Structure 1
């Protein structure tokens, strides 16, 4: 078992109050780590933090944030920077799928804002804390559905057409492309930080689709009843924890990990021109200089 995570380690985990996030938080806290869990529901988050602090050897604190707006993301980053002096693992697990096209206060399509721009901005704002670790890791929960994603840079607000599954797929494509670009940039500046992403498997019991359209929810329900389809929350959490702690990923960066380990993502996610454009467009939207890390 890896000793990367121990009593001196600090982990930040978004989307941590339910599903694979909550299970991952328990597994990481059980190794003695200090775990900062992030979610929108204060009651659920505080209950989970109290339970894990009492039932594991780790120290767990809840930080409430709605990652839909850039102000909230920056406020979270400032709060975490005040509370902790380093980060060993930054795990971006928060995600949503919404049935109706929604535009945030920043003028961004909601799914893209939460699933991609929030991880992008948080990673930027946490670079100093990550560099305070001897070897830090960035882990992003992507999805196999990224392979059907298409990203039209001329219609990021999805004004021409909106489909919940297509909006989700393009946000997951952005996750993978961002991970690969981040890994390459970190290697260029010789940082002791690795960045990897993973497909957690199709988990019918997740709350991800609770706000989806009725046909989508019916499909998920039917799929959950079919033998051999889907996986469990526990298995998805194991994959996140493996990327966060496993010795195989101590220096292995820029990986998309699926059922059989590291595998090739959709070709477009690996295209340098696509990755570079996504990086620069994302920087412009959130108002930062693109020449980082």
Structure 2
């Protein structure tokens, strides 16, 4: 069970916070006293969650930001809006994600799975890193998946244009999450800001597969109601995310892959330092920022 450590006076920003694991994480951090900013695409659902947080949050506050992580402009607007309102950020939870059955591109011309799952949190973290450092100690928690073990970073085809496979694209993006976390941790050493990549387990009840095939949506729907030993419900899946974001036991943990509430061993490919550094530089170019952040 996640610890009940108090977060009074802290500010948390949670992407994908209007449903699933993000919602559960937002509620849990609010219960500990944090003020919570949730990010989502559905305004009606987001307002409902924000009211739910307000009703149980004591002296803290809840607010909603609408953003589309398939758009670089939307991610930039989100960061500007948050910085205009707040001068501190103690916890950033990069939770928003997608799974696409068919290949599609964003308006920026990037394959959608890679754009939403990796480039959006990469860019958002860059845009908020100064606020995180000024608020230190602070934490960046990026939600990945055990499927990162199946992933491979193919620099010749990051957009999966050759023989697109939804699972391969997703696995590549989840491996990118772990590599991003490890490089971010190196760049932030000594600042008081930590970075962890968290595997919540197999949680079929989340909404990230809304773009999956009908067959896969039906299968996951079945998994979500059957008592299968390899699945977790949303509350169970959120526990490790909450621990990484709030537990004192993780206050000094950085650059690690966390699964089932403990530090675990990521795949060998997640430990390739050359790929890690190259992915950082390529990602910076794709979103139009300097690869030198944070200095």
TM-score (norm 1): 0.95
Equivalent residue, structure 2, for 1:211 = 211
Tell me whether 1:49 sits opposite 2:47 in the alignment.
no
2:92 maps to: 90
**1:32–1:59 contact (8 Å) kept in structure 2:** no
1:2–1:247 Cα contact (<8 Å) kept? no
Distance 2:196 2:100 in 1: 26
Equivalent pair of 2:284/2:291 in contact (CA under 8 Å): yes
| Cα shift at 1:229 | 2.4
Deviations, residues 45-70 of structure 1 (Å, cap 9, x unaligned):
01111121023323110010011111
CA distance in 1, matches of 2:133, 2:19: 29
Confirm whether residue 8 of structure 1 aligns to residue 9 of structure 2. yes
1:111 to 106, 110, 113: 113
- Cα deviation 1:20-63 (Å, max 9, x = unaligned): 11111111111111100000001110111112102332311001
Distance 1:112 1:217 in 2: 20
C-alpha deviation, 1:222, in angstroms: 4.4
- Structure 2 stretches lacking a partner, 5+ long: none
CA deviation digits over 1:211-251, x for unaligned, max 9? Answer: 21133224324444253120111111111110011112111
What is aligned with 1:184? 186
What are the within-5 Å matches in structure 2 for residues 136-151 of structure 1? 136-151=138-153
Give, in whole Å, the separation in 2 of the partners of 1:285 and 1:172. 17
Measure, in 2, the Cα distance between the counterparts of 1:247 and 1:133.
17
Whole-angstrom CA distance in 2 between matches of 1:213 and 1:197: 27
- The answer to whether the 8 A contact 2:136-2:191 is kept is no
Give the Cα–Cα distance (whole angstroms) in 1 for the partners of residues 17 and 274 of structure 2: 33
TM-score (norm 2): 0.95
How far has the Cα of 1:105 moved from its partner? 1.2
The answer as to whether partners of 2:239 and 2:261 remain within 8 angstroms in 1 is: no
| Structure 1 counterpart of 2:283 | 282
**What does 1:70-85 correspond to in 2, within 5 Å?**
70-85=72-87
RMSD: 1.4
Once residues 159 and 82 of structure 1 are traced to their aligned partners in structure 2, the CA distance between those partners, rounded to angstroms, is 39
CA contact (8 A) 2:30 2:56 kept: no
Aligned length: 290
For residues 98-129 of structure 1, what are the alpha-carbon distances to aligned partners after superposition, in whole Å with 9 as ceiling and x for unaligned? 11111111110001101000110011110111
